[in-house]
Amino acid sequence: MSDRLVFFGELLIRLTAPGNELLMQSPSFALHVGGAEANVAIGLAHLGHDCAMVGRVPDNALGRGAVAAVRGAGVDCAAVASGPGRMGLYFLSVGAGLRASEIVYDRAGSSFAASGAADYDWDALLAGAGLLHLSGITSALGARSAEAALAAARTAKRLGVPVSFDGNYRAMLWEAWDSDPRAILSELIGAADILFGNHRDLSLVLGREFSGDGADRRREAAEAGFAAFPNLCLIASTARHTATADHHRIAARVDLRASAHQTDEVDVTGIVDRIGAGDAFAAGVLHAWRTGGDARAMAETGLALTCLKHSLPGDASRFGAADIAAFHAGGLDVRR
Catalytic (active site) residue 76: no
Neighbouring residues of 164: CB distance < 8 A, sequence distance ≥ 6:
131, 132, 133, 134, 192, 193, 194, 195, 196, 282, 286
CA angle, 245 then 251 then 253, to 5°: 140
Pairing of strands 76-82, 88-93: unpaired
Q: State how far the Cα of 88 lies from the Cα of 243, in Å rounded to an integer.
A: 32
CB 309, CB 280: distance < 8 Å: yes
CB 12, CB 88: distance < 8 Å: yes
Which amino acid, residue 314? G
Sign of CA dihedral 37, 40, 46, 47: negative
Q: State how far the Cα of 127 lies from the Cα of 149, in Å rounded to an integer.
A: 17
Task: Find the catalytic residue in 279, 315, 323, 333.
Answer: 279
- Closest CA relative to residue 70, chosen from 59, 57, 83: 57
Active site residues: 279
